[in-house]
């Protein structure tokens, strides 16, 4: 009887190990996360950038919590945040002028609309005196934002027919 019990335990342990390995193999680890394939529309772009970067400025302490609430995880080696579904990533870094929250994403929306939307959205709740600069050739956009921050938006590159953009919020120089 003792041999049967031991054999049963081994079978149970083996079954648990098989189930656990199948579960972990099917779910992406934070190290394996990459951008997804779904580009962002205007509403998702604004909600993500304003929610993660603008509303958590100046120290971005709550940014990681907001990212987690939106399904993002940090890649274990790069620290870049992905959700594995949408073609968007976030990076929280430090520059010589202070902390930076940046978002890189793909979108089919017009760059001039994206830039103005992020400029206006990142200045909500300020005194309304923000000056928005737009390059008429590239549609790169810059504005003074919350506190002493600066919002920059730039169309960056095209890859596999997708247009990519970078938006960032950082301390002013």
Q: Render pLDDT for 152-162 as a digit per residue (tens, 0 to 9).
A: 999 999 999 99
Tell me the helices (H) and strands (E) count for the chain, helix number first: 4, 8
Q: Of all helices (H) and strands (E), which one includes residue 170?
A: strand 162-171
How is residue 10 written in tokens? 């081994």
User: Are the C-beta atoms of residues 89 and 104 closer than 8 Å to each other?
Assistant: yes
How is residue 26 written in tokens? 């099917």
Which residues are registered as beta bridge partners of 154? 166
pLDDT of residue 31: 53
Distance (Å, whole) CA 143 – CA 118 = 9
The mean pLDDT of 103-110, rounded to a whole number, is 98
pLDDT-based confidence at 97, cuts 50/70/90? Answer: confident
User: Are the C-beta atoms of residues 57 and 101 closer than 8 Å to each other?
Assistant: yes
- pLDDT tens track for 26-53: 344 555 678 899 999 999 999 999 999 9
């Amino acid at each position: 009887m003792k041999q049967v019990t031991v054999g049963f335990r081994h079978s149970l342990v083996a079954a648990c190990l098989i189930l656990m390995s199948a579960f972990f193999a099917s779910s992406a680890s934070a190290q394996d996360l990459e951008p997804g394939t779904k580009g962002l529309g205007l509403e998702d772009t604004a909600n993500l950038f304003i929610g993660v970067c603008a509303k958590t400025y100046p120290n971005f302490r709550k940014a990681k919590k907001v990212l987690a609430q939106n399904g993002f995880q940090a890649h274990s080696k790069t620290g870049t945040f992905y959700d594995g579904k949408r073609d968007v990533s976030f990076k929280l870094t430090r520059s010589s002028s202070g902390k930076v929250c940046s978002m890189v994403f793909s979108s089919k929306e017009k760059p001039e609309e994206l830039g103005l939307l992020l400029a206006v959205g990142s200045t909500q709740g300020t005194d309304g005196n923000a000056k928005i600069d737009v390059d008429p050739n590239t549609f790169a956009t810059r504005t003074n934002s919350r506190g002493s921050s600066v919002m920059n938006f730039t169309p960056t590159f095209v890859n596999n027919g997708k247009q990519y953009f970078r938006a960032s919020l950082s301390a002013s120089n």
